[in-house]
Amino acid sequence: MPRAARILAFGDNVVDCYRGQSLMYPGGNCVNHAVFARRAGAETAYAGAVCNDDAGHLIRDALLEEGVDVSSLRIENGQTAYCVIETQDGDRVFVGANLGVSIIAPSPTDMARLPDFDAVHTGRSSHVDAWLPRFAEATKVSYDLATVHDGERIALVAPHCFLIAFSAGGTSREEALALALSARAAGALWSLVTRGVEGALLAGPAGVFEAPAQPVDAVDTLGAGDTHIANVLVGLLNDRHPDAILKEAAEAAAKTCLTRGAFGYAAKMNVDLTQMMSLEEIYRITRPAKAPEEV
């Protein structure tokens, strides 16, 4: 029997604070990826930074409960990252956040571990683009560009990617296909575009594959996209057929929509929100993690 795929998720984390319910849940793209890839059958590890506070304890304990290796999880002074979520007119809205200590550069120990994994997953929220060439020298790279569809950014990231992923809900099929193919042309081996209720599209060496979303009465859509990406990466690493990969990814994403928070583990919200910033402000002022030459 072949061994399980091994994936290291490096970078961002948050606790998602549902202020109206006074609850917080562990989350963030890379934390979610480590959990969902583990649930999909991979062996996973998470490398990131939290603090010795209730939010940091929640993230660590949830990862451990899910069977994720946290030996590369750092405990820093400060505040664990958080994102505040509210429901407005029935829709989930991100109203503010603080990245806390979550933006970190890989340590020498982190880099030394990479060749032991079949892939490393990171994304735009982790701010480690300068490290992608080093990552790609050591193992395959999975990268979530989320809603960033800018051609210049794609041209910088895609050449290092085994899998690049985009969120493109509300786009037409033609726009999604053009996006996927542009990333392929820029150097990515596989390009995934998730389109919410319209399903997903995966472009790669064997062609373009598509699958509809799985209908579900959603309780909370948080984490559905991360579920999809994680399942696609695990499937590709296991040399599954793209049609089967997309079908199973859609089923897993639908299941995530039946859980509050990205993957559960609700706790009473105990987070200092006095330093909360708007998402626009965060994107404007956040500096990337130190580049290799700065470490």
Amino acid type, 177: L
Q: If you average pLDDT over every residue of the chain, what do you get?
A: 96
CATH superfamily of 7-285: Ribokinase (3.40.1190.20)
Phi-psi region of 11 (alpha: psi -120 to 50; beta: other; left: phi over 0): left
CA 14 – CA 101 distance, rounded (Å): 10
* All residues at 6 or more sequence positions from 118 whose CB lies less than 8 Å from its CB, including other chains: 5, 6, 7, 139, 140, 237
The three-state secondary structure class of 245 is helix
77-91, 156-170, 213-227: which range is least confident on average? 77-91
Amino acid type, 16: D
Q: What is the mean pLDDT of residues 144-168?
A: 97
CA 197 – CA 201 distance, rounded (Å): 12
Predicted TM-score of the model (pTM): 0.97
Structure confidence at residue 283 (pLDDT): 85
Q: What is the pLDDT of residues 58-94, one digit of tens each?
A: 999 999 999 999 999 999 999 999 999 987 765 678 8
Q: What is the pLDDT of residues 166-211, one digit of tens each?
A: 999 999 999 999 999 999 999 999 999 999 999 999 999 999 999 9
CA 199 – CA 197 distance, rounded (Å): 5
In the chain, domain spans: 7-285
Question: What is the number of H-type helices and E-type strands within the chain?
Answer: 9, 14
Structure confidence at residue 93 (pLDDT): 82
